[in-house]
A = this chain, B = another copy of it.
């Protein structure tokens, strides 16, 4: 049995097949992938990795399996899935996932091949575990998949608390111990036991506050957008370190690889210097949902790139100096989490008036961003608003101040 000291859950015991999985290259690689990608540009102490997060998720899965009294064989599959649930992540976690998905058709939880092959596959076979079943659990399929990836999964229980601990933002500090204790299965559905409407709401609210403050802080969004565009140029470059980087290889890099590849490829070198020195682009448009015409919301990646080029041409600036960032419509997945009320299983959004309010609130927080160099914000902003028919006040961009969700007077912005 391995006992590992963790800053969030204190001592974590890893035993059985998961202990052997810990030693595999695929899991050890997670030590070199930051949990929150570029969020450390906003919260400098947020340098925690997918490795410790995976340990934490394993720990909570193991405790949940015990409390729910899962059969031995089911429990060990759930635990293995918890430990492995993030091995499919590329460098900087979600930051460049849109790109790798576009090029490979795979998301980070498409891990069938990864866990069936290599040392992970060996360990699983040696222990008579089924890679396919684990892959399905990771995608949230089946009754027990809800524990690993679902509205009440142990993944988010860990990351909320861990991100709060490492950023210093207290909003994520949920009562994860209580959540674990109240889980139960009813008719094959994972639900919170009687008297836990509040408990379910607390999970929802913690995410609702961490979202704009941490995960979607505009500096995190800008740096992420910059990194994604640079990685795209890396894939399309045919010189320097990138010469043999394709999307599959990119997906399997760690943070070290990607950063150094960007540095040593001529097409991305200038970017990487900006990135290393935190000279980030600035917002020139920051438009609310209601200001944005439908055709932009519907635009796909190719269309967005076309718009960017149009703006760059009209403003007479370098194409790399304009990024248009259109987030998808916000959703609240916890809304369908289930609680027992008077012995009856109910969806949280049927039970709690907060859910629909949060849905509205999230749409209110949605922003389309156009980013450019500091000196060009005014020029690019006017042109971009015009090009995209954004209904901006006085022909200008939306007042940026209204959307600074965290008052950190950032030193660079």
Q: Interface on A for B, CB 8 Å cutoff? A: 1-8, 10-11, 14, 19, 22-25, 28-29, 31-32, 34, 40, 42-49, 51-52, 55, 165-171, 173-175, 177-178, 181-182, 193-199, 201-202, 205, 209, 212-213, 255-257, 259-260, 276-278, 341-343, 352-354, 356-358, 360-361, 364, 399, 401-412
How many protomers of this protein does the assembly include? 4
In the complex, the answer to whether A409 meets B342 with C-beta atoms within 8 Å is no
In the complex, which residues of chain B have a beta carbon less than 8 angstroms from the beta carbon of A29? 276
In the complex, the answer to whether A195 meets B353 with C-beta atoms within 8 Å is no
In the complex, which residues of chain B have a beta carbon less than 8 angstroms from the beta carbon of A410? 2
Going nearest first, the 9 A-B pairs with the smallest beta carbon separation are: A357-B357, A195-B404, A2-B411, A7-B45, A260-B260, A353-B360, A7-B168, A44-B52, A194-B401
- In the complex with contacts A257-B260, A276-B29, A3-B408 CB distance below 8 A: yes
In the complex, which residues of chain B have a beta carbon less than 8 angstroms from the beta carbon of A195? 401-407
In the complex, the answer to whether A22 meets B411 with C-beta atoms within 8 Å is yes
Of the candidates B3, B45, B198, B213, the one whose C-beta lies within 8 Å of that of A181 is B3
Question: Closest Cβ of chain B: how far from A356's Cβ, in Å?
Answer: 7
Docked CA distance A185–B376 (Å): 34
Docked CA distance A167–B194 (Å): 22
In the complex, the answer to whether A10 meets B45 with C-beta atoms within 8 Å is no
Docked CA distance A165–B213 (Å): 22
In the complex, which residues of chain B have a beta carbon less than 8 angstroms from the beta carbon of A25? 276-277
In the complex, the answer to whether B7 meets A196 with C-beta atoms within 8 Å is no
In the complex, which residues of chain B have a beta carbon less than 8 angstroms from the beta carbon of A42? 5
Chain B: which residue is nearest A352 at the CB level?
A: B361
In the complex, the answer to whether A198 meets B212 with C-beta atoms within 8 Å is yes
Docked CA distance A68–B279 (Å): 32
In the complex, which residues of chain B have a beta carbon less than 8 angstroms from the beta carbon of A34? 47
